[in-house]
Structure 1
Amino acid sequence: MAAATPTETPAPEGSGLGMDARLDQETAQWLRWDQNPLTSESVKQLIAGGNKEELRKCFGARMEFGTAGLRAPMGAGISRMNDLTIIQTTQGFCRYLEKQFSDLKQRGVVISFDARAHPASGGSSRRFARLAATAFITQGVPVYLFSDITPTPFVVYWDNGAQIISPHDRGISQAIEENLEPWPQAWEESLVDSSPLLHNPSASIGNDYFEDLKKYCFHRTVNKESKVKFVHTSVHGVGHEFVQLAFKAFDLAPPEAVPQQKDPDPEFPTVKYPNPEEGKGVLTLSFALADKIKAKIVLANDPDADRLAVAEKQDSGEWRVFSGNELGALLGWWLFTSWKEKNQDQSNLKDTYMLSSTVSSKILRAIALKEGFHFEETLTGFKWMGNRAQQLGDQGKTVLFAFEEAIGYMCCPFVLDKDGVSAAVICAELASFLATKNLSLSQQLNAIYVEYGYHITTASYFICHDQGTIQNLFGNLRNYDGKNNYPKMCGKFEISAIRDLTTGYDDSQPDKKAVLPTSKSSQMITFTFANGGVATMRTSGTEPKIKYYAELCAPPGNSDPEHLKKELDELVGAIEEHFFQPQKYNLQPKAE
């Protein structure tokens, strides 16, 4: 599970309970309800040892239901993922679904799991899935439980197939709080094995997925004859089998799997961080295998196979790991080019769309402006892009592609989410097609920038655990030279527009009101600069980070990327010095 840093919450106002008294109450209640001997024993030991600091980490605040659900380390307590919090969450979710869908007992729910586990607490994704299934089955709700590990994109979210957005997230959170006590049969996991309400959708969903995927194969003849070699790593996750099947569906020779990382392993023994977004460090074994078999392209999925990283061997002998924005440019260009070949009627362009998140590169906007289709940006995260894609589909529009800079790509909108399996095979077909023209991915990326304008991007973050400091930093930006005045300059760089999605302010709009949805619970300000630069500062929803994303966009014809990179570096330096002020706010930079 993705790590999140729980924050302590004071006792409810008027409760009369101090932190220690509330902690005693929470732990006592936990020990009454928890039937997992490993987690209950660990709490008893912390109490016996008087380890208040660790108890506060475990019981300081209940996990918040947010982006795509719950995120936290596995372990004991209401701040962690464990048997009891899974039961409580599922009970609340079940009650919420009963209110939303009068036919829930006909519809049923879909549940799947990946390979992650935490032996010290007895927790695993598979066990959590079975406990969740038990909660629904005891209430007479059919459950479609995948029988084995599955990529996230195979499982739909809400009834529209996209991730949950407001107001459902708030409603589910409230329902969880109202259903904390385990139901009578909540711990009877064996009910799952004998219930007539349990169904296994693995085969049918797998067949449907790969049949739908074949519709996005545009050059089957090229694929059959391709001599391009690929290395694939699933980084100890679920992706191996599914990427092999995707290549087969496209008539591509299967990629060579990194043997040490092919099989699921919740310990992730060969990598420091099991996230290909981290770059070259995660791909060391992939590069070694690729060099051995003389493959020039590496495809890497994250452990639940919804993200994709791509690296290419350069003529210099160096490996180039494409950024999420660069791969977004390549895939967007490819999907539009392939679509245009099949759709000669130019009038269809008016109903054709691409999407990206607001912190991602604006390269799709540049392509759309020249080619005549529509581009839209959404808030950060695929829950927004997936729901918008579904709305557009309902209006008879065609969504060709959506992406976010965090190596997430929706290449095939039959899945309304990022999908690393389809992205891997579509990238492989692109590389195979380019090879027939004696072009590399890097050369094609450069050709895209020459035609549509260079888009040079960078992103990083500072670590900050203190919410008060974060409030002060962003408050200072909103009151830069007096009350309610944003900065007009950042060092030598002139600011031409400001959008604040925390307050809803956007001075580029006639009424000064932001078009995108706003949220007072998170910080996000975007600065547009007179030199074509755009920079967004935002707080992370899951980690103690203040992130920033910067891009310099040049019009077509500007053929000096090195100058643009230098100017972007200067802009980022000014932003760090004048806006972040790391020394003043005691911010820790990203560890290299």
Structure 2
Amino acid sequence: MDADLNANIGLQGTGDPQLDKAVHQWLRWDRNPWTRAQVEALVGGGALEELRSRLCSRMSFGTAGLRAPMGAGFNRINDLTVIQSTQGLFSYLSRYFPDFGRRGVVVGFDTRGQEASGCSSLRLAKLTAAVVLSRDVPVHLFSSYVPTPYVPYAVKKLQAAAGVMITASHNPKEDNGYKVYWCNGAQISSPHDKEILRSIEEELEPWSVSCWDEEVVEHCPLRTDPLSHINSCYMDELSSLCFHRDLNTRCALKFVHSSFHGVGHVFVQQAFQVFGFAPPIAVPEQRDPDPDFPTVRCPNPEEGASVLELSLLLAEKENARVVVVTDPDADRLAVAENVDGCGWKVFTGNEMAALLGWWMFFNWKETHPDPGDTQNVFMLATTVSSKILQTLARIEGFNYEETLPGFKWIGNRIHELSKTGNRVIFSFEESIGFLCGSMVPEKDGVSCAVVVAEMSSYLYEQKLSLKQQLLNIYQTYGYHMSRTSYVVCNDPPTILKIFARIRNFHGEGSYPETCAGVRIVHVRDVTTGYDSSQPDCKSVLPVSRSGQMITFTLQNGVVATLRTSGTEPKIKFYSELCAAPGNSDVSFLEAELKKVTDALVDDFLEPEKNNLIRRFV
């Protein structure tokens, strides 16, 4: 470490050459007083392990980008790491697109982070723009916060080379993120993600002082503000999902909406207006953006009734029947319904997908009476989500496809299908991520909130609730019951050992043959590319060696998956029983699913033996 730098911070070196080099680089490159002060305090206090944790590793450029706590360090979200990431992204885009200088980049942001911290989403978005503008390339920087889906929508509408959204979605308040979209509007996928990461590692030193100047966006002629244009286009196009406007205008139902202290309020209000509804009643305590998320222990509406308390209380007070809740960046949607005499029903992602899938195809048939039109209609779901759309497709005659977990796979598949004249009318992932239509190749809580309202309004006219219609769907197409949870494992070698045992259960190269005494008829292992249901035993889904994922199909109709989380020390498990139409013995079906799920965890994961922590969600 330089003698001048040592003297400046009162340090004579840590005794660890690698750490000394990392500290030196940080203090030489970082110009943010808040994060510099953090590192200086850690150095002065001799907090060597904390320094190593922050400075001797980097964030992995994972699913579509970066997500981590805000603060000083190469493995945190801050000014320097965002500048480094943007420089790497810029370098790759410059090489990939001959016309990059014309197409430019879209940049959006949510409302995370306090201004005083120096890591607010607004500041990080301006620095992202400043890096691109410093190389004389145009930037379409939104002037105010927007829902995450607005960035991929703008990328397509403006024909930009890429888009960046500064958001950590529903993560804890300490986190922020850097999400990247490709020119087709979908989240980046391989090989672009790996090439961008390589470019980032080659462009770590900030190019110039101007990269730190967030004010450059205020006066640079290459910066444009797409907010008004994109919002107008989005709302105009949203009307294509409205099928019963006359009914909506006289709707007697009341709706409550919470934006969970995020960006959704204004945009959901506008969406309801587009469909002819009165505005939904906003939860006042959660309407306006607040990066501290003061009224919820966790800003994730997927947690269910425990975090929806204020919404449900307001709905009861206002005699509102349906509650819609968008997460902080408004790409996910939770739905609850007050069923007379039965209290609140909070729908799971799989249940809501059954309703929305039915609704979208019902309206498609109404507007496309020619059966031949259905040949080019698709619905998509991730492979760990309910098979309800597969069942609908088999009976109704449209097409269904599965993707790997993550909406980036759905978004890219929508793009591929659209190029061949096909139309995707609904897509979802079980973690309350839905897309009605295909106007945005990303899950979209804003559009789906108003689609749910219209579906509720239509069913109300038919003397039906959402819950009753869900039961009708199950009675017509067969019950699809699911269980989703996880175990925590903080030892990566143990996770590898668990999955190695499953792959060699009865000797080398043999998978389990039964689960809870029920025969396993097919095994698919996308980590290795094996699928026993295929003639060549090769998985139709892409091989994904970055994590572990094995799916078992059982003789009794249960489909169960074990997979590792890409961001947390978890082994997740998903199980679903797909019963035949007419089988309405719900108690028996639930017991059968529980039996298999318990055996899946106990026999295959061996929680006690492997010191796994059970969690149930």
Q: Which of these residues, 110, 116, 124, is aligned with residue 114 of structure 1?
A: 110
Corresponding residue number in structure 1 for 2:272: 247
Q: For 2:615 and 2:460, how far apart are their aligned partners in 1? A: 37
C-alpha displacement of 1:20: 4.0
Q: Which of these residues, 22, 28, 35, is aligned with residue 32 of structure 1?
A: 28
Q: For 1:400 and 1:64, how far apart are their aligned partners in 2? A: 34
AA paired with 1:26? A
The superposition leaves residues 233-253 of structure 1 with CA deviations (integer Å, 9 ceiling, x where unpaired) of 000000000000000000011
Does 2:70 correspond to 1:46?
Answer: no
Question: What SS does the corresponding residue of 1:117 show, helix, strand or coil?
Answer: coil
Corresponding residue number in structure 1 for 2:196: 172
Corresponding residue number in structure 2 for 1:548: 573
Q: Which of these residues, 223, 235, 238, is aligned with residue 198 of structure 1?
A: 223
Q: For 1:252 and 1:60, how far apart are their aligned partners in 2? A: 54
Please tell me whether the aligned partners of residues 410 and 417 of structure 1 are also in contact (alpha carbons under 8 angstroms).
yes
Does 2:537 correspond to 1:512?
Answer: yes
C-alpha displacement of 1:265: 0.3
Question: What SS does the corresponding residue of 1:253 show, helix, strand or coil?
Answer: coil
Corresponding residue number in structure 2 for 1:407: 432
Question: What SS does the corresponding residue of 1:80 show, helix, strand or coil?
Answer: coil
AA paired with 1:181? E
Q: Which of these residues, 438, 444, 448, is aligned with residue 469 of structure 2?
A: 444
AA paired with 1:163? Q
Residue correspondence of structure 1 range 3-152 to structure 2 within 5 A: 20-118=16-114, 121-152=117-148
C-alpha displacement of 1:228: 0.6
Corresponding residue number in structure 2 for 1:384: 409
C-alpha displacement of 1:566: 1.2
Corresponding residue number in structure 2 for 1:489: 514
The superposition leaves residues 122-178 of structure 1 with CA deviations (integer Å, 9 ceiling, x where unpaired) of 211100000000000000110000000000001112111111110000000000000
AA paired with 2:44? A
Q: Which of these residues, 592, 595, 598, is aligned with residue 567 of structure 1?
A: 592
Tell which deviates more after alignment, 540-549 or 311-320.
Answer: 311-320
Q: For 1:354 and 1:19, how far apart are their aligned partners in 2? A: 59
Does 2:362 correspond to 1:362?
Answer: no
C-alpha displacement of 1:118: 4.6
The superposition leaves residues 428-463 of structure 1 with CA deviations (integer Å, 9 ceiling, x where unpaired) of 000000000110000000000011111001101111
Q: Which of these residues, 304, 308, 314, is aligned with residue 283 of structure 1?
A: 308
Q: For 1:417 and 1:591, how far apart are their aligned partners in 2? A: 28
Q: For 1:439 and 1:282, how far apart are their aligned partners in 2? A: 27
Question: What SS does the corresponding residue of 1:232 show, helix, strand or coil?
Answer: strand
Q: For 1:414 and 1:59, how far apart are their aligned partners in 2? A: 41
AA paired with 1:82? N
C-alpha displacement of 1:41: 1.0
Please tell me whether the aligned partners of residues 523 and 539 of structure 1 are also in contact (alpha carbons under 8 angstroms).
yes
C-alpha displacement of 1:19: 11
Question: What SS does the corresponding residue of 1:400 show, helix, strand or coil?
Answer: strand
Q: Which of these residues, 343, 348, 352, is aligned with residue 323 of structure 1?
A: 348
Corresponding residue number in structure 2 for 1:4: none
TM-score (norm 1): 0.96
Q: Which of these residues, 332, 337, 353, is aligned with residue 307 of structure 1?
A: 332
AA paired with 1:70? L
Tell which deviates more after alignment, 56-65 or 480-489.
Answer: 56-65
Please tell me whether the aligned partners of residues 74 and 118 of structure 1 are also in contact (alpha carbons under 8 angstroms).
no
Question: What SS does the corresponding residue of 2:501 show, helix, strand or coil?
Answer: helix
Please tell me whether the aligned partners of residues 412 and 422 of structure 1 are also in contact (alpha carbons under 8 angstroms).
no
The superposition leaves residues 465-517 of structure 1 with CA deviations (integer Å, 9 ceiling, x where unpaired) of 22111111111111112111111112322211111011111111111111100
Question: What SS does the corresponding residue of 2:140 show, helix, strand or coil?
Answer: strand
AA paired with 1:176? I
Please tell me whether the aligned partners of residues 82 and 121 of structure 1 are also in contact (alpha carbons under 8 angstroms).
no
Does 2:479 correspond to 1:454?
Answer: yes
The superposition leaves residues 10-40 of structure 1 with CA deviations (integer Å, 9 ceiling, x where unpaired) of xxxxxxxx99432222122111100111111
C-alpha displacement of 1:66: 1.6
AA paired with 2:410? M
Please tell me whether the aligned partners of residues 485 and 616 of structure 2 are also in contact (alpha carbons under 8 angstroms).
no
Please tell me whether the aligned partners of residues 552 and 561 of structure 2 are also in contact (alpha carbons under 8 angstroms).
yes
Does 2:215 correspond to 1:219?
Answer: no
Corresponding residue number in structure 1 for 2:503: 478
Tell which deviates more after alignment, 485-494 or 212-221.
Answer: 485-494
Q: For 1:496 and 1:193, how far apart are their aligned partners in 2? A: 62
Question: What SS does the corresponding residue of 2:52 show, helix, strand or coil?
Answer: helix
AA paired with 2:64? A
Corresponding residue number in structure 1 for 2:183: 159
Q: For 1:317 and 1:265, how far apart are their aligned partners in 2? A: 34
AA paired with 2:467? S
Percent identity over the alignment? 54
AA paired with 1:178? E
Q: What RMSD over aligned residues (CA atoms) do the two structures have, in Å?
A: 1.3
Call closer, same or farther: CA 1:510–1:412 in 2, change over 3 Å. same
Q: For 1:217 and 1:36, how far apart are their aligned partners in 2? A: 48
Q: For 2:615 and 2:422, how far apart are their aligned partners in 1? A: 41
Question: What SS does the corresponding residue of 1:485 show, helix, strand or coil?
Answer: coil
Question: What SS does the corresponding residue of 1:498 show, helix, strand or coil?
Answer: strand
The number of residues matched between the two structures is: 575
Q: For 2:616 and 2:539, how far apart are their aligned partners in 1? A: 34
Question: What SS does the corresponding residue of 2:470 show, helix, strand or coil?
Answer: helix
Q: For 1:524 and 1:59, how far apart are their aligned partners in 2? A: 32
Tell which deviates more after alignment, 541-550 or 139-148.
Answer: 541-550
C-alpha displacement of 1:392: 0.6
Q: For 1:34 and 1:463, how far apart are their aligned partners in 2? A: 36
Q: For 1:20 and 1:562, how far apart are their aligned partners in 2? A: 62
What residue ranges of structure 1 are gaps of 5+ in the alignment? 1-17
The superposition leaves residues 541-568 of structure 1 with CA deviations (integer Å, 9 ceiling, x where unpaired) of 1112111110000111111122111111
Q: Which of these residues, 317, 338, 342, is aligned with residue 292 of structure 1?
A: 317
C-alpha displacement of 1:58: 1.4
Does 2:177 correspond to 1:181?
Answer: no
AA paired with 1:101? F
Q: For 2:349 and 2:547, how far apart are their aligned partners in 1? A: 23
Please tell me whether the aligned partners of residues 76 and 121 of structure 1 are also in contact (alpha carbons under 8 angstroms).
no
Question: What SS does the corresponding residue of 2:467 show, helix, strand or coil?
Answer: helix
AA paired with 1:116? R
TM-score (norm 2): 0.92
Corresponding residue number in structure 1 for 2:158: none
C-alpha displacement of 1:60: 4.2
Tell which deviates more after alignment, 162-171 or 47-56.
Answer: 47-56
Question: What SS does the corresponding residue of 2:80 show, helix, strand or coil?
Answer: helix
Corresponding residue number in structure 2 for 1:502: 527
Question: What SS does the corresponding residue of 2:323 show, helix, strand or coil?
Answer: strand
C-alpha displacement of 1:398: 1.1
Q: For 2:576 and 2:337, how far apart are their aligned partners in 1? A: 23
Q: For 1:567 and 1:268, how far apart are their aligned partners in 2? A: 40
Call closer, same or farther: CA 1:48–1:353 in 2, change over 3 Å. same
Please tell me whether the aligned partners of residues 516 and 595 of structure 2 are also in contact (alpha carbons under 8 angstroms).
no
Please tell me whether the aligned partners of residues 22 and 56 of structure 2 are also in contact (alpha carbons under 8 angstroms).
no
Please tell me whether the aligned partners of residues 109 and 144 of structure 1 are also in contact (alpha carbons under 8 angstroms).
yes
Call closer, same or farther: CA 1:164–1:287 in 2, change over 3 Å. same
Call closer, same or farther: CA 1:19–1:153 in 2, change over 3 Å. farther
